[in-house]
Amino acid sequence: MARNSVQFQKGLSEAGFMQLYGTEPKCRAAVLAWRWPEGFVCPACSGMRYCLVKQEGRELYQCHACRTQTSLIAGTIFASTKLPLTVWFRAMYLITQSKQGISRLELSRRLGVRYDTAWKIHHKLTQVMMERDRAKPLDGRVEMDDAYLGGERNGGKRGRGSPGKMPIVVAVETTPDRKPIRVKIRRVKRFSKKHIEALAAGILERGAQVLTDGLGCFNGLKAAGCTHEVIISGPGRKSAQNPLFKWVNTTLANIKTSLDGTYRKVSPQHAPRSLAEFEYRYNRRYDLAAMIPRLGWVAARTTPMPYRLLKLAEDYG
């Protein structure tokens, strides 16, 4: 039996990672190349001539034209950090090279930092992932389904009405011959036609050919300009085994396995970033080794995300 080329790809070994990003100068050189690939650009006047100024142990870039001073990480997701960049790069490696991801507690142990520090690093990097994929709508053939995450486990009401359940929508873009390409995972306030219409407008191209089950809220897809095909396949196991929904059902199962195995519980407030982490890795699964430079490139272009904003974050797609 042939091996799955995606599952058995080499990725980036720890030795290879250390060779590329194992020292602070190597990490700084990488951030410099990602942020200013054509050379330094002043954030105030766009001037390109500069000198380096040493100030209180920091190395600052001073523009010759307007004399504005900036650091390598100012204005990026790494802004104001007191940690070496090697710690951030190690975190990017651990988050991207594991199929299931890594919990904040395990990340703190592997990085040798406090849990609160690991929490902030993890959430800032997954914020980068979320912002990167937000503006890339799906097109063509799309399988879509609804699901709930979490809920009451011991006693209490079961099913859709049980307390604590978080409604999500999963959409998988496939080729015409039903091979998976990309996925979008979004939390919604509730399953209603109005909320599905708003969701579809944000994650689907107009004209996308969307397949769903018979849930009434999916009628909002037509109002969003999509072609909607309803497939009635019956409840329970019969629906899950329908080949027309193979990839959305597989993705849903993988999401639940990943979140349950890694985090045990995901709060509704921070669920968008946890879902974005799974989505980011899935959409770049064909080249694990390239995931760190791709994430770093975006991180160097993502504006700072202060702790107070991380705590308040809410996003319904």
- The string of pLDDT tens digits covering residues 27-47 is 999 999 999 999 999 999 999
Taken in order of first residue, the domains within the chain and their CATH numbers are 19-72 (no CATH), 141-269+277-286 (3.30.420.10)
Predicted TM-score (pTM) of the model is 0.89
The pLDDT value recorded for residue 290 is 94
Asked if 148 and 224 touch (Cβ cutoff 8 Å), the reply is no
Q: How far apart (Å, rounded) are the C-alpha atoms in residues 240 and 85? A: 45
**pLDDT score for 151:** 56
Crossing angle for the helix pair 246-262 and 271-283, nearest 10 degrees?
A: 120
3-state helix, strand, coil in the chain (%, to 5): 45, 15, 40
Which residues in the chain show pLDDT less than 70? 1-5, 7-8, 151-164, 234-240, 313-317
Q: Please, is 171 exposed, middle or buried when counting C-beta atoms within 10 Å of its C-beta (0-12, 13-18, 19+)?
A: buried
* Paired tokens of 17: 């990672």
Q: What is the pLDDT of residue 280?
A: 95
DSSP secondary structure code for residue 138 in this structure: B
Provide the pLDDT for residue 5: 64
Nearest to 117 by CA among 80, 64, 154, 156: 80
> Which pLDDT score, from 0 to 100, does residue 158 have?
53
Question: What's the confidence (pLDDT) of residue 168?
Answer: 95
| Amino acid 93: pLDDT | 96
CA-based nearest residue to 247, from 307, 181, 172, 188: 172
Cβ–Cβ < 8 Å for 282, 276? no
Res 242: pLDDT:
82
